[in-house]
Amino acid sequence: MVRKSFLFFQIQFLLFFGFQNCISDTKKNLESLKACKFDLVDVRVDLKPNPNFPLIPLLDLYPQISVMNPNPTKVSLYQFDLDLELITTQGKEYIGKLQNQSPVEVEPNSETTVVLKLVPEQKTSILPKLLVLAKKLNEAAQRGEDAEFEIYGTVLVDSMFGKIPLPVREVSRIKLKR
């Protein structure tokens, strides 16, 4: 009986230590990510057939983000599925879902380009909304301003226990290229 109790205690200790180590590594990575610099480099547009309105295609957008890691350690960009809103002086404007299909590691003191997938809200015609959004971003870039976005949803963090969903809600600034 004492042996089973001791074995149970050892298993609990290992699980607790492993969980603490996982949380510590994740916390360090998230702090390192805050020091990284993110720039919007380009946006690729793919058209696909619209089953509801064949004359108006659906759009998939693939923003290319440059990630500069100034940290002495590598950082991981986790897999995520996040909602994205543009913050303007008139308020927030919902854009759609921003997805990273596979995790990416950025080496220390280096720069990597990451291609994300943006699934725009397409309940109504997306073209006028995209044109207004592009106009706002272009005007902000010409003024030398950054774009401000609110990002919220779930990030899947890799751990020794598998992928753990972590809720995220934050405001990010992205430097726009002229």
Q: What is the per-residue pLDDT across 37-67, written as a single tens digit (0 to 9) for each?
A: 887 788 888 888 878 777 777 777 888 888 8
User: pTM surpassing 0.75?
Assistant: no
The predicted model gives 1-28 an average pLDDT of 52
Total number of domains in the chain: 1
> For the chain, what is the largest distance between any 2 Cα atoms, rounded to a whole number of angstroms?
74
Q: How far out from the chain centre does Cα 84 lie?
A: 9
pLDDT score of 23 more than 80: no
Helix (H, G, I), strand (E, B) or coil at 158: strand
Q: What residues have CB less than 8 Å from 119, skipping those under 6 apart? A: 60, 61, 96, 97, 99
pLDDT score of 32 more than 60: yes
Q: How far out from the chain centre does Cα 104 lie?
A: 11
Mean pLDDT of the chain: 75
Task: Report which residue type is found at 44.
Answer: R
Band of pLDDT at residue 88, cut at 50, 70 and 90: confident
- Domain membership of residue 163 as a residue range: 2-176
